[in-house]
């Protein structure tokens, strides 16, 4: 699978990181990679066009909850920095930054998202929003201080992530940066 085979330009990684990290180094250092450059478990977790909520729940064999760390709502754009955690022990399985264009989402879907109590993927699935997940790019990340603290690892630890889009009702409505926690 070639992650750069879409018609939609890739989300701007620096812009997404910059929403919540004035100093990009707090997030970490990033390097674009090809799926073949990734360990198998991370290829399975990231190199696909499915919702990450479903993917991490399947991988860990249990449901996940969302923890919104920060959010902002400017004009029709809502952005948030989140963690997905396992329900059983609250361990972190994913970090994410999303930016949603509310022009493409119904009012009741917007309200549930802004309520910040349910993972985004689960809302879109449960609300039966016509959607398509589009993988744009894959990333190797050497974590900075903030990401290291969130994942409970040493600064400089290597993790893997992806950027992409969720098209809602045919429109590129949601920009994604999704980073999975280090796994065995």
Instruction: Specify the pLDDT at position 5.
Output: 45
Residue ranges and CATH numbers for the domains of the chain are: 13-134+154-180 (3.40.1410.10)
Q: How many angstroms separate the most distant Cα atoms in the chain?
A: 41
| 160-176 residue pLDDT tens | 999 999 999 889 999 99
Q: What is the mean pLDDT of residues 142-158?
A: 97
Q: What is the mean pLDDT of residues 137-150?
A: 97
Q: What is the mean pLDDT of residues 55-79?
A: 95
Distance from C-alpha of 167 to C-alpha of 105, rounded to nearest angstrom: 10
> Which candidate, 65, 45, 49, places its Cα nearest to that of 2?
49
Instruction: Specify the pLDDT at position 129.
Output: 87
| Dihedral pair phi/psi, residue 162, rounded to 5° | -150, 155
Instruction: Specify the pLDDT at position 4.
Output: 43
Instruction: Specify the pLDDT at position 7.
Output: 65
Contacts of 90 (CB under 8 A, 6+ apart): 65
Q: How far is CA 42 from CA 104, 137, 145, in A?
A: 31, 13, 22
| 106-139 residue pLDDT tens | 999 999 999 999 999 889 989 988 889 999 999 9
Rounded to two decimals, what is the model's pTM?
Answer: 0.92
Mean model confidence pLDDT for the chain: 92
Instruction: Specify the pLDDT at position 3.
Output: 46
Q: What is the mean pLDDT of residues 67-94?
A: 96
Confidence of residue 88 (pLDDT cuts 50, 70, 90): very high
pLDDT more than 70, % of the chain: 96
CA angle (25, 30, 36) in 5-degree steps: 160
In contact, 161 and 180? CB cutoff 8 Å: yes
């Amino acid at each position: 699978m070639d992650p750069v085979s879409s018609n939609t330009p890739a989300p701007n990684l620096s812009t997404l990181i910059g929403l919540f990290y004035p100093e990009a180094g707090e997030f970490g250092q990033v390097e674009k990679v090809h799926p073949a450059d990734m360990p198998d478990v991370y290829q399975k977790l990231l190199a696909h066009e499915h919702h990450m909520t479903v993917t991490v729940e399947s991988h860990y064999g249990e449901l996940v909850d969302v923890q919104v760390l920060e959010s902002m709502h400017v004009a029709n754009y809502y952005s948030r920095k989140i963690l997905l955690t396992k329900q059983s022990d609250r361990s972190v399985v994913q970090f994410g930054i999303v930016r949603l264009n509310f022009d493409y989402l119904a009012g009741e879907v917007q309200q549930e998202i802004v309520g910040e109590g349910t993972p985004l993927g689960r809302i879109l699935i449960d609300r039966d929003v016509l959607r398509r997940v589009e993988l744009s790019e894959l990333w190797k990340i050497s974590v900075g201080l903030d990401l290291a603290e969130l994942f409970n690892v040493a600064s400089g630890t290597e993790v893997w992530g992806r950027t992409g889009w969720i098209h809602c009702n045919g429109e590129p409505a949601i920009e994604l940066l999704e980073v999975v926690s280090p796994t065995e």
